[in-house]
Structure 1
Amino acid sequence: MNTVKPDSVALFCLTPGGKALAERLKPALPVTCFTSEALHTPGFVAFEGGFAHALREAFRHASAIIFIGATGIAVRVLAPLVNDKFSDPAVIVIDERGQHVISLLSGHYGGANALARYLAGVLGADPVITTATDVNEMAALDMLAIQLDARMADLRPAVKEVNHMLVSGKRVGLWCEKALQEELDRCDTRGFIPVADLSVLPELDGLVCVTTQATLPASGVPLYKLVPKRVVAGIGCRRNTPFELLLTLLQRQLLAHHFDPLALRAIGSITLKKDEHGLNALAQRLHVPFEVFTAEALRQHEHHFPASDFVRQAAGVGSVSGPAAWLMCQGHRVGETLREQGVTITLGVSH
C-alpha cells in the first residue's frame, strides 16, 4: 500500500510563478522542492540531469509528487513509468496561479485524492477529483481497505468489480464481524448496504465481509472478504530453526484459532533473534514487519507466562513468545502458546 509518507513528498516547479507557489506550500507539509539551476535558491534542490530525469527519479522513490505546471508536461514525462494505482506514487498537478489542484495518479491507494483536497484547502483552490466513486459521492473498496489497514486475496480485480458495481447502481452489501464494527463505523461506507446477519441477506449483487476469520458461511452471492491486519505472533525458537518449520507451525496456530493468514499484522521476538534467518524469511514471505524487543522489555511481562530456565540462561528472560505478543497487542493474547520442536508461538489481537 503506497500511502503518502510526509518525509517523501517531492515538489517540482519550472517557473518563477511556480516557485512562489512552492514557497506557499512549504509550511503546509514536509516537502523537498526541486527547480532548475536558473531558479535555484536556498531551500530548493537543483535538478540533477535535467527536469525529466529528476521527475522520473522521484517517481521511482517518492510516495507523492507535486508538480506545479501544465498537466500535459507531467503526463508526457511520467507516461513510460506508470504501472498501476496500487504501486505508483500519488501525483498532484497544480497550475502556477494556484487555482486548481488536480489528483492525477493513484487517487485512492497512493493518497492523491486526500492530498489534493488538503493542498486545495491550503491554497484556497478547487480540488479536481475525477475518481468515479468520489464524484458519485460513494465509498470505494480500496479506500475501505486503506482505512481498515486490511488485505484481500486478489485485491486488484476485487476493487475493479466492487467499485464498478457501486457506481453502476448495483446493490453491494457490507457485513462486519462484531469485534471490528466500531472501527468500521469510523470509515466511509457510502453506497454499501449494511448487512447485520449473514444468514438473512437482502437482495444483493455482491457482498463485502470485513473479518479476520478464515471461513465464512456460503452467501449465494459474489463474496469479497476484506481482512484487517489485527493478529500478531510472538515467536521464540532455537538458533537456525528452519524457515519451513516456522511457517508450518505459524499457519497451524493461526488456523487453530480460525484466523485468516491475511489477518497477520506482525511477528515479534527478542533482540537476540534480530538476525535469525528463519524469522526474517518468515516475515518476508508473509509481508509483515519483524519486531524485536530487548530482554529487559520482555521481562516486564514474563510473569503472565510459564518460564523456562533454559530460555532464561540463553536469552536473559524466561519466556520470549508470550511477552513479545503481549507487547505487540497490549495484552490481548489469544489462546494457549504453541510449543513444538523448539518453537513457541503466542498469538494476540490488536485493534
Structure 2
Amino acid sequence: MKRFVIIALTVGGAKVARYLKKRLQEQECHADVVLSQRLAQDDENYYLKGEFTRTIHRLFKEYDCVICIMATGIVVRSLASVIVDKTVDPAVIVMDEKATNVISLLSGHVGGANEWTRLIAKLTGATPVITTATDTENVQALDILAKRVNGWYPNFKENTKKINCLLAEGKKVELYLEPYLRRYLKRLNGFEILSGIKEHQEGIPLIIVSDRSGFMKSNDVIHVIPQVNVLGIGCRKNVTYEMMQQTFAEFCTEHQLLWQSFAKLASIDVKKHEPAIQYLAQTFNITAEFYSASELRQVSTNYPASAFVLKTVGVGNVACAAADYASGEQNVTRRYANHEITMALSRLHEI
C-alpha cells in the first residue's frame, strides 16, 4: 500500500488536508496529516515552531507521496537540497488552500505524481495541473508503459528521455507487445502497434514488451521485460542449490523465458524453509510465497495429481497448484519435472 502524507501551513490548508485524508482513506490509501503544533487537533501529528524544513525533509524520505498545501515556491525552496533523482524521489504534489488547483511537481511518471494528481483532483474537485510533455500531448510515456507491467529496461534515464521526446513530438515509435500482455496495457497512444516483429522498419525505434528471450539486438530496439510471471515449485526434501538452479535454467530455456520476468515464486507451506527454494528466491530477487494444502486443493483439481504427493503433503500437485493459486490464473505451461524438482508457470491475473 502506498503511503501518502499531507502537510499544510494555514487553517484553511489544514481543513483541506483533513478532508483529503478522509477521501484517500476511502480509496484504501494510507494517508497521514502533519501540521504545525498550533493547527494540530487531538492526536494529529505536528511539528514544533522552526522545524518545518526538517519535518518536510523527513517526510520526503519516509513517504511515497508528499502532498503540500501551500505555495509552490515554499515547497521548491524547502526540498531543493534533498532532491536526488526521479528514479528514487517520492512524488511531490502541491495544492492551494482552497483546493482550486492541484499540481504535479516532482516525480510525475516514475514516482506516480501525475497519476495521483488526477486522483486528488477527482476527489476534491480541483483542477489538475500536469506539465509533462507526453501527458500534455496525450501520448503514453515509455516509463509509464513499463510501470504498468512492473517492467525493466536498460539505460532507463537515457532511453526514457529519448523515446518520450519522440512521442511528444509526434514522431514514429514502433511497439510490439506480446498478445498475452495486452490485458495489462489499455492505453498505447502515440505508438505504432506492430502485429509481428517482421513488420519492424529499420531505423525506426522499436519497443518490445515481452517476457521472452531471443529477440533481435539493435540500437533501435528497447526490450521492456515485464514482471508478470509466477513460478510454482515442488521438490523433494533437501534438493541441492545446484539442482534447483539447473532446473530453473532448463525451465526458462524450454519456454524462452527471461528470469527478470518473474514476479514471485510459490510453493506449499511445508517447503517454506527448504534451502534450495529460498536460495532461488534470494539469488534472483523473487518474492517467495507459501500456501497451505487446503488452499492449494482449491485449484489442484485443474491439474494431474500424484498419489504419492497427495499422501505426502495433502495435495495431489504442488507446482501447478501453487502457480495457479498465487497468480489467480491457470497455468500457461505444462508441469516440468527434472532433478527431483517440478515447476509450472502462471501469469498474474492483475498487476
Q: TM-score, normalised by structure 2?
A: 0.86
> Which residue pairs with 1:283 in the alignment?
281
CA distance in 2, matches of 1:275, 1:50: 47
* TM-superposition CA deviations, 1:248-280 (whole Å, max 9, x none): 421321121111222212100111232344433
Compute the displacement of 1:68 (Å): 1.0
Change (3 A) 1:50 1:251: farther
* TM-superposition CA deviations, 1:22-75 (whole Å, max 9, x none): 133233202210111111103621127933333222222211111111223323
Compute the displacement of 1:19 (Å): 0.7
Q: Aligned AA for 2:60? A: F
Match of 1:22 among 17, 25, 38: 17
* Contact 1:214/1:258 (8 A) holds in 2: yes
* Contact 2:319/2:335 (8 A) holds in 1: no
> Which residue pairs with 2:28 in the alignment?
none
Indicate the percent of aligned positions where both proteins have the same amino acid: 32
Partner of 2:336, secondary structure, is strand
> Which residue pairs with 2:131 in the alignment?
130
Change (3 A) 1:70 1:278: farther
* Contact 1:172/1:204 (8 A) holds in 2: no
CA distance in 1, matches of 2:149, 2:114: 18
Compute the displacement of 1:117 (Å): 1.9
Change (3 A) 1:55 1:245: farther
> Which residue pairs with 1:54 in the alignment?
55
Deviates more, 1:329-338 or 1:9-18: 329-338
Compute the displacement of 1:122 (Å): 3.2
* TM-superposition CA deviations, 1:211-253 (whole Å, max 9, x none): 22212246x6611122232322111234554545433421321
CA distance in 1, matches of 2:275, 2:72: 47
Gaps of 5+ in 2: 26-30
> Which residue pairs with 1:97 in the alignment?
98
* Contact 1:337/1:347 (8 A) holds in 2: no
Q: TM-score, normalised by structure 1?
A: 0.86
> Which residue pairs with 1:177 in the alignment?
178
Deviates more, 1:292-301 or 1:44-53: 44-53
Change (3 A) 1:300 1:134: closer
Change (3 A) 1:125 1:181: closer
* Contact 1:102/1:128 (8 A) holds in 2: yes
CA distance in 2, matches of 1:100, 1:345: 52
> Which residue pairs with 2:259 in the alignment?
261
Compute the displacement of 1:13 (Å): 1.1
CA distance in 2, matches of 1:165, 1:26: 38
> Which residue pairs with 2:326 in the alignment?
328
Partner of 2:39, secondary structure, is coil
Number of matched residues? 341
Aligned ranges 1:1-351 → 2 under 5 Å: 5-6=1-2, 8-30=3-25, 31-42=31-42, 44-47=44-47, 50-184=51-185, 186-187=186-187, 189-202=188-201, 205-217=204-216, 222-243=220-241, 245-303=243-301, 304-307=303-306, 309=308, 311-312=309-310, 315-329=313-327, 330-340=329-339, 342-351=340-349
CA distance in 1, matches of 2:148, 2:80: 29
* Contact 2:149/2:228 (8 A) holds in 1: no
* TM-superposition CA deviations, 1:67-108 (whole Å, max 9, x none): 111223323333333232222211111122323211111111
* Contact 1:215/1:260 (8 A) holds in 2: no
CA distance in 2, matches of 1:46, 1:277: 46
Partner of 1:56, secondary structure, is helix
